[in-house]
Structure 1
Amino acid sequence: MRYVLTRIGMFVLTLWAAVTLNFVLPRLMPGSPLDAALARLAASGQQVTNAQRQAIEAQLGSPHGSLWSQYVQYLSDVVHLRFGTSFTDPTQSVASAIGKALPWTIVLVGVTTVVTFVLGTLLGAFAGWRRGRRADSLITTTSTLFGAFPPFWFGLLLLYVFAFRLQWFPISGGYSEGATPNLSWSFFSDAFVHSVLPGLTLAITTLSGWVFGMRNTMINTLGEDYVVFAEANGLRERTVALGYAARNALLPNVTAFGLSLGAVVGGAVLVEGVFGYPGVGQLLFKAVTNHDYPLMQALFLVITVSMLVTIFVVDLLYGRLDPRVRTQGGEAS
């Protein structure tokens, strides 16, 4: 019980610190939402008058008052889940903007994370079991090669080859221009085609982490006494590899997988930006560019809370799976 209470206290303290940073950081950025809106008008060649400036300021609802009063109001809004209206699009609420972008990111990044975790774990376990052999060299060399590519650069390469040159896939977007999101099979197939290249970019560039994580842990596990004892007893090679070595080497990768699921909500800003994918990453980029405080704060809050909740759950599960963690945390085993 002491272990659980300690983790709950740390969760609450960390959440408060994250919420406070979420309020402070956007306000440390140079400029303001009003400056960004005026800059866009000036870039279009329009002359900005004082009347237009006041009208834009009133429309944006730019924050007024002292920083402390804004902070108190912000905490109250967070508790009551009031995120306000987007400065970028005053006709749309922040909750509505996030609600439209979140499913795209969850599907793209979530499915990619699950697939790469399963594939990378299997490849890493096989490479670790065949350490020093040809299969190990092939898997580790290939993983190192693709893992060294920056995701945005690899995405641009895929776009040039498969979208621009071969024209097998669309260049940008989450669905065809003019289409309306719905639950029809035609829309799902259209969205799937648009998600292939960004999904491949994320999968190929992140696969190496799962491969090397599982391989290294697998090699360490193979030296344990119970694995050597199982081999000495004449058990089948597959039984020793899967039932003894891989099963015990899987725990660190499962922990990392839980944390990766928490990061799914944050999306992939660079990859979504390269492909013009209508997810949270693309929405966050637009919010930062336009100094959209309400949208930025809500996005950061959603991302932070999802990560903290995932870490909290993984921490509790890890304490159940490994009693030594509870002992170190102050609870007697």
Structure 2
Amino acid sequence: MRFLWQKFGFYLVALWAALTLNFFLPRWMPGNPVDIMVSKLAQRGEVTPATRHAIELLLGMDSSVPLWQQYIDYLQQIFRGDLGVSVAYFPTPVVDVIGQTLPWTVALVGLSTLISFVIGVGLGMLAGWKRGSWIDNMVPSLTLLQSIPYFWLALVLLFLLGSVWQVFPLNGGYDIYTTSPGWTWDFVSSVIYYGTLPALTIVISSVGGWMLGMRNMMVSTLSEDYILTAEAKGLRPSRIRLTYAARNAVLPSVAGFAISLGFVVAGSVVTESVFSYPGIGSALLSSVNNADYALMQGIFLVITLSVLGANLLVDLLYTVIDPRTRARA
């Protein structure tokens, strides 16, 4: 129990530090969302000082309020679930923008990361168990794919499978002409069809890393004394491979997988930019281009919570899958 309280305390402090940086970093960037809103309104007519002050209050950047008071107000708004109003999607609240875009990113990048992890770990286990086989010989080629810049691989697949052979659509998240969002088979099948090519790009570019890491850990684990003892007892090879070797070899990969899930939101920017996918990465790019502090802070908050949650999850999961950690706790 003490171990759990220590973990929760550490992550609460980390969350506070992240929220503090989340407040100050956007304000250190060049540009001002108030000026952007004023310039947009000035195109339609004269903007009075009262109008500018109203915009400052709306965006939580009242120049008459000290910065430390804005920081306190920001923390209070966070705990109330009020993330402000987006400039890029004005007058839509930031919570609504994140709520509309986050499911797209989680479904695409999250599922793709899960698929690449399962395939990579499975192939790595077989490659480490059967060294010198054709599966083991796949490691260099798959690792080479991981070293290729992701955007270049995405453009190549987009050109070949979207333009030359026209197997998949070039952009978008679903067919906006024949379907509408909803829990219908037409919409779900359209989302799967439009998301297949981006997902394929993620899987191809990341499966080699999982395979290489699992293969090396399997080779190292198979040389341990307890593996030799299990073989001397006459246990079945499948039991030795899964229960004794793979279970211990997969521990570093589990930690890496949890961290990868935490960075699902952060890693979606390039994916959604190349494929014009309507996820949170596109919203983040739009917020940067428009100096939208509120939206940037909201998205960074989601990234922070996902990373901290993933690390906490792997810490707790380690106490279940690794008895040695549970004994120390």
1:51 matches 2:64: no
Paired AA for residue 186 in structure 2: S
Sort the Cα spacing of 1:278 and 1:267 in 2 relative to 1 into closer, same or farther, 3 A: farther
8 Å contact from structure 2 (residues 34, 55) kept in 1 = no
Q: CA deviation at 1:143?
A: 1.4
Q: CA deviation at 1:193?
A: 1.2
Q: CA deviation at 1:38?
A: 7.0
In 2, distance between residues paired with 1:131 and 1:320? 30
Q: CA deviation at 1:320?
A: 4.2
8 Å contact from structure 1 (residues 33, 290) kept in 2 = yes
Q: Which residue of 2 aligns with 1:129?
A: 129
8 Å contact from structure 1 (residues 84, 294) kept in 2 = yes
Residue deviations 1:164-189 (CA, integer Å, cap 9, x gap)? 22222111110123442112211111
**Aligned Cα RMSD in Å?**
2.5
Stretch moving more, 178-187 or 113-122: 178-187
Q: Which residue of 1 aligns with 2:145?
A: 146
Paired AA for residue 158 in structure 2: L
Q: CA deviation at 1:327?
A: 6.3
Paired AA for residue 257 in structure 1: F
TM-score by length of 2: 0.90
Paired AA for residue 238 in structure 2: R
Q: Please state whether the residue corresponding to 1:127 is helix, strand or coil.
A: helix
Q: CA deviation at 1:54?
A: 7.7
8 Å contact from structure 1 (residues 113, 261) kept in 2 = yes
Sort the Cα spacing of 1:155 and 1:52 in 2 relative to 1 into closer, same or farther, 3 A: farther
In 1, distance between residues paired with 2:125 and 2:48? 63
Sort the Cα spacing of 1:57 and 1:144 in 2 relative to 1 into closer, same or farther, 3 A: farther
8 Å contact from structure 1 (residues 105, 267) kept in 2 = no
Structure 1: gaps of 5 or more residues = none
Q: Please state whether the residue corresponding to 1:51 is helix, strand or coil.
A: coil
8 Å contact from structure 2 (residues 108, 199) kept in 1 = yes
In 2, distance between residues paired with 1:23 and 1:294? 9
Q: Which residue of 1 aligns with 2:157?
A: 158
Q: CA deviation at 1:236?
A: 3.6
Identity of aligned residues (%): 44
Residue deviations 1:233-256 (CA, integer Å, cap 9, x gap)? 444433322232112212222222
Paired AA for residue 275 in structure 1: F
In 2, distance between residues paired with 1:47 and 1:6? 55
Stretch moving more, 210-219 or 60-69: 60-69
Q: Please state whether the residue corresponding to 2:78 is helix, strand or coil.
A: helix
Q: Which residue of 1 aligns with 2:173?
A: 174
1:213 matches 2:209: no
Residue deviations 1:205-249 (CA, integer Å, cap 9, x gap)? 111221112111111100011111222344443332223211221
In 2, distance between residues paired with 1:57 and 1:267? 37
Q: CA deviation at 1:35?
A: 4.6
8 Å contact from structure 1 (residues 38, 48) kept in 2 = no
Paired AA for residue 262 in structure 2: G
In 2, distance between residues paired with 1:54 and 1:170? 48
Q: Which residue of 1 aligns with 2:259?
A: 259
Paired AA for residue 17 in structure 1: A
Paired AA for residue 51 in structure 1: V
Paired AA for residue 202 in structure 2: L
Sort the Cα spacing of 1:6 and 1:31 in 2 relative to 1 into closer, same or farther, 3 A: same
Q: Which residue of 2 aligns with 1:191?
A: 191
Q: CA deviation at 1:86?
A: 0.8
TM-score by length of 1: 0.89
Q: Which residue of 1 aligns with 2:112?
A: 112
1:270 matches 2:270: yes
Paired AA for residue 157 in structure 1: V
Q: Which residue of 1 aligns with 2:224?
A: 224
Q: Please state whether the residue corresponding to 1:82 is helix, strand or coil.
A: coil
Number of corresponding residues: 324
Paired AA for residue 114 in structure 1: L
Sort the Cα spacing of 1:173 and 1:59 in 2 relative to 1 into closer, same or farther, 3 A: farther
In 2, distance between residues paired with 1:180 and 1:266? 28
8 Å contact from structure 2 (residues 38, 47) kept in 1 = no
In 1, distance between residues paired with 2:55 and 2:89? 10
Q: CA deviation at 1:47?
A: 6.5
In 2, distance between residues paired with 1:54 and 1:75? 26
